Amino acid sequence: MIKHHPTFELIQSFVNGDLPASLSIGIKLHAEMCSQCQKQIAQLTEQVADNAFESENSFAVNDNDIFDFESIISDITESDDIDDVSVEINKTINFKNKAYPLPKALNNVSVGKTANIGKLSRARLQLDEEEIHTNLLHFNPGGGVPEHTHKGFELTVLLDGSFTDHKGEYTKGDFIMLDGTFTHQPISEKGCLCYTVANDALHFTQGINKLLNPIGNFIY
Amino acid sequence: MIVVQTELPISIGHAKSKRMINNTEVQELNGWLKAVANSRCKIAFTHLFKFFAPKIQRIARSKFTNEAQAHEAVQETMSNVWRKAHLFDADKGAATTWVYTVMRNVIFDLLRKMKSNREDNLSDDIWPIAESTVSDDDIYEDHLENKKLLHGIESLPEAQQQVVKGFYLMEMSQEQLATHLNLPLGTIKSRLRLALSKLKVQLGEDHD
Ligand SMILES: [Zn+2]
């Protein structure tokens, strides 16, 4: 059962199209697994659309300073071509010999090569959003990330399996947004696949784990 | 009294009762959009253009810094309306919601092209303009399909049943099944193959 959802503010920015692609995809991935948020998004979109197109906001329709209506319309309607919906493609992605269906929201995202460290595997999603990095992160059973601290934000959408940290257990569909400075130590007993977005490398905090700081850069 | 102005003046719960665009207007817009889809009607498209283009222009101006980009957003949105009208389904929402989605997607892709220099056009994957909402009929058919499938599985020999149930219902890998059932991997594979061909025959997929 999904326990963690995006905040209303995030959903609102999502509907407005104001979030970066990485976070927009994160919300879309969650909504595909969460009918409650899906419904909220649909209602909000209807409302925002009404707002955007209400009549009072209209300029004088024959304002030819803005548009040469006739010529644009005839340019557009000159062609009889229609756009077909792209054929549904079902891609898969492999981690440690297990194939996972790639979420449709990622169909046109270029996925980098998978890199492995111990029980962790990472495939970078090449969204090119400067300091925001997006990955698919796979934990083999028993895999975990040693205690580490973030600055900035870290979003995890659990696509398959489950993991736990000091706050409890997270299951498939959970949308976990951590913000500010925080310390945690996720571990996945049975293995899991996550979509992660972060804007700052992780820093390992405890004793010998400090030696692991290269892993922080690996996951980020 | 201080009134705090939020971006959204209406709360979710009142969406239906306080619609800013009245029903007749929505019906009219829906009708034009359908006319474009069904008969490529240029008159209907002109009506749509005159209703939407100035509003899209106003919104685009708030998102882009230069006039040329705002203009491109309007043209691209309206030309998508012309080319994709057949994807609009009035049963699933109002024309305004659909055109909004088309517009938001165009603006999102244009902004992304500017900021990240990427032309991957991700918007339609994030906000599909032909979203197939699951209707009750679909669910019903799914149930029927599932029932047929489960029935089919039950009628398989016990050894094949085990493998099919483990693989499809419990989502175990073939390797996990081999360990779990203490059988060679090859046996698992051949049992699965056999079971699947039987199921296909039962479900009537052997006709094509
Ligand atoms: Zn949710």
Give the fold, CATH level 3, of B137-207: Arc Repressor Mutant, subunit A (1.10.10)
Higher pLDDT residue, B131 or B122? B122
Least confident span in A216-220, B86-90, B175-179: A216-220
Q: Which candidate from B82, B116, B121 shows the least CB-CB separation from A76? A: B82
- As a whole number of angstroms, the distance between CA B124 and CA B101 comes to 9
The pocket of ion ligand 1, defined by CB under 5 A, consists of: A 5, 34, 37
Q: What is the residue type of A132?
A: I
Q: Which candidate from B85, B97, B107 shows the least CB-CB separation from A49? A: B97
% of chain A residues with pLDDT over 90 = 55
CB spacing of A106 vs B101 below 8 angstroms: no
Spell out the domains of chain A, with CATH numbers in brackets. 1-220 (2.60.120.10)
Q: Looking at beta carbons, which residues of chain A come within 8 Å of B10?
A: 47, 51
Task: Judge whether A28 is closer than 8 Å to chain B, CB to CB.
Answer: yes
Higher pLDDT residue, A46 or B180? A46
- CA angle, A130 as apex, A125 and A136 as ends, to 5°? 20
CATH node for B23-126 = 1.10.1740.10
**Exposed, middle or buried by CB within 10 Å (0-12, 13-18, 19+), for A4?**
middle
Average of pLDDT values for A81-101? 83
Q: Which candidate from B75, B84, B122 shows the least CB-CB separation from A108? A: B122
- As a whole number of angstroms, the distance between CA B22 and CA A197 comes to 41
Contact A191, A211 (CB under 8 A): no
CB atoms within 10 A of CB B160: 19
CB spacing of B54 vs A110 below 8 angstroms: no
Interface subset of A 71-130, CB within 8 angstroms of B: 72-73, 76-77, 79-83, 85-86, 97-98, 104-110, 127-130
Condensed to tens digits (0 to 9), the pLDDT of residues B45-86 reads 999 999 999 999 999 999 998 899 999 999 999 999 999 999
> What is the structure's pLDDT at A218?
63
> What is the structure's pLDDT at A86?
63
Q: Which candidate from A15, A76, A83 shows the least CB-CB separation from B78? A: A76
In terms of Cα–Cα distance, which of B94, B79, B203 is closest to B149?
A: B203
Q: Where does the pLDDT of residue B111 fall: very low under 50, low under 70, confident under 90, or very high at 90 and above?
A: very high
- As a whole number of angstroms, the distance between CA A114 and CA B44 comes to 51
> What is the structure's pLDDT at B190?
85
In angstroms, what is the span from residue B118 Cα to ligand 1's centroid? Answer: 29
> What is the structure's pLDDT at A55?
63
Interface subset of A 196-215, CB within 8 angstroms of B: none
In terms of Cα–Cα distance, which of A97, A96, A6 is closest to A44?
A: A6
Contact A121, A114 (CB under 8 A): yes
Closest residue of chain B to A129, computed from CA coordinates: B116
Q: What is the residue type of A148?
A: H
Q: Looking at beta carbons, which residues of chain A come within 8 Å of B57?
A: 59, 66-67
- As a whole number of angstroms, the distance between CA A96 and CA A136 comes to 13
For chain B, which residues make up each domain, given as ranges? 23-126, 137-207
ipTM: 0.87
Condensed to tens digits (0 to 9), the pLDDT of residues A107-130 reads 999 999 888 888 889 999 999 998
**In the predicted structure, residue A182 carries a pLDDT above the cut 60:** yes
Task: Name the 3-class secondary structure at B56.
Answer: helix
Condensed to tens digits (0 to 9), the pLDDT of residues A131-164 reads 899 999 999 999 988 777 777 888 999 999 999 9
Do the two domains B23-126 and B137-207 of this chain adopt the same fold? no
* HEC string for chain A: CCCCCCCHHHHHHHHHCCCCHHHHHHHHHHHHHCHHHHHHHHHHHHHHHHHHHCHHHCCCCCCCCCCCHHHHHHHHHHCCCCCCCCCCCCCEEEECCEEEECCHHHCCCCEEEEEEECCEEEEEEEEEECCEEEEEEEECCCEECCCEEECCEEEEEEEEEEEEECCEEEECCCEEEEECCEEECCEECCCEEEEEEECCCCEECCHHHHHHHHHHHHHC
- As a whole number of angstroms, the distance between CA A153 and CA B114 comes to 24
Q: How far is A92 from chain B (nearest CA, A)?
A: 15
CB atoms within 10 A of CB B150: 12
Least confident span in A29-38, A46-55, A205-214, B120-129: A205-214
Q: Looking at beta carbons, which residues of chain B come within 8 Å of A69?
A: 46, 49-50, 53
Q: Looking at beta carbons, which residues of chain A come within 8 Å of B175?
A: 97
| CA dihedral over B62, B68, B69, B70, signed as positive or negative | positive
Q: Which candidate from A15, A76, A109 shows the least CB-CB separation from B122? A: A109
Closest residue of chain A to B123, computed from CA coordinates: A21
**Exposed, middle or buried by CB within 10 Å (0-12, 13-18, 19+), for B134?**
exposed
Least confident span in A32-36, A112-116, B32-36: A112-116
Contact B92, A46 (CB under 8 A): no
- As a whole number of angstroms, the distance between CA A157 and CA A108 comes to 19
In angstroms, what is the span from residue A163 Cα to ligand 1's centroid? Answer: 18
% of chain B residues with pLDDT over 70 = 75
